Amino acid sequence: MTFGILGNGSWGTAIAKILTDNGHSIYWWNRSEKAIQQIQTRRHNPQYLSSAYFDTALLNLTTDPAEVIIHSDCTVIAIPSAYTAATLLTLDKEIFTDRKIISAIKGILPDQNLLLNDFLNNEFNFPLQNYFAVLGPCHAEEVAAEKLSYLTFSGVDENATHEIAGHFKNDYINTVENNDIYGVQFAAVLKNIYAVGAGIAHGLDYGDNFLSVLIANSADEMAGFLKKSGIRNVEVGSINHASIHHNKQLLSYSNLAMDETEKQIKSGSQKTTNYAASVYLGDLLVTCYSLYSRNRTFGNMIGKGYSVKSAQIEMSMVAEGYNASKCMYMINQSVKAEMPIAETVYKILWQGLNPTEGFNTIEQELV
């Protein structure tokens, strides 16, 4: 299987390191010809994860995204969600035919309020069976340092998911597999919002005691949204072959995924997934607590009094939780889950709610 990567930020660079460390020759897209020349000359990405060095003989670097896709059986899309649609809409509508896509995006495409798989289906008639998502908990910086990390691969095609995951596994990467495409992607979006909230709390000088309660309630809030969206079995410790819970309010997102999952669960081929697993609770925890977390950093700046714009300029990196907070607020207008924490983060970032006032409200909601 040949791999390509669209995106050369921290996560795209980390994925390139994993694949090339495993001996794969990859096609890798970068907008900047200057950056490509620097990678070829210096053997590392000078802008992101500069400690990760590459065997340049395994790198086919290009500024043309179509070239990457054409030469790859499987393309990893690791572009920040805010810029993904603009990049992909420049491509021929047939370019993804008979190819596989791995989403490494931990956000929702903001102009469309869509997960990547739904956008691809709408614009390219791309089938869910050929779509896979790679999630954490996994910080790119620790991948660069080769600290043991876990990647979760999700796809409705169990055999293909297993094959793809095998190409990423090595001494410092363990892999987990499931078929919970919608659940894991929505969880990845939500955990970024809650990490912004954790950062705001830290910036407002709340302590660890409060933060632990905030994150525990965030996990519960996440589970509530997933349940109302039709995701199954989101209780702590519940990993079994239980029946699927269907909810009509968000089935436009997930009918096909649920149909495939139900077949596999009835056949006993896969376990159901719960939000306490590494891809749910683990990713939430590391994103809320880690100093590597850009969403936590962004929120911390907001809590300390930065405006949204000044925090974005200061960081010079994308915090997915910013756009995600608005997208999830809009999506939840139809789902109608109880989400006071995520809603307060949205109001602070998008409606100018004072962070202190917002968290005074949150204090009354926590249990």
- Each residue's pLDDT tens digit, 317-347: 778 999 999 999 999 999 999 999 999 999 9
Predicted pLDDT at 249:
40
Pairwise pLDDT comparison (165 vs 291), residue with the higher score? 165
Of the listed ranges 119-128, 193-202, 203-212, 256-265, the least confidently predicted one is 256-265
Averaged pLDDT for residues 219-230: 89
Q: What is the mean pLDDT of the chain?
A: 87
Pick the CATH number of 3-178 from 3.90.1310.10, 3.40.50.720, 3.20.20.100, 3.30.420.40: 3.40.50.720
Helices and strands of the chain, counted as H and E runs: 16, 8
Could you confirm whether domain 183-365 is CATH 1.10.1040.10? Answer: yes
Provide DSSP, 6-38. Answer: E--SHHHHHHHHHHHHTT--EEEE-S-HHHHHH
Ramachandran area for residue 26 (φ above 0: left; ψ -120 to 50: alpha; else beta): beta
Cβ atoms within 10 A of the Cβ of 99, count? Answer: 15
Q: What percent of the chain has pLDDT over 90?
A: 67
Averaged pLDDT for residues 53-73: 95
CATH 3.40.50.720 domain extents, the chain = 3-178
CATH 1.10.1040.10 domain extents, the chain = 183-365
Per-residue pLDDT of 233-284, as tens digits, reads 555 455 444 333 333 444 444 444 445 444 443 444 444 555 556 778 888 8
pLDDT band at 92 (very low <50, low <70, confident <90, very high): very high
Provide DSSP, 232-285. Answer: ---STT--S-PPPP--GGGHHHHHHHHHHHHHHHHTTSS----TTSIIIIIHHH
User: Per the confidence metrics, is the pTM higher than 0.95?
Assistant: no
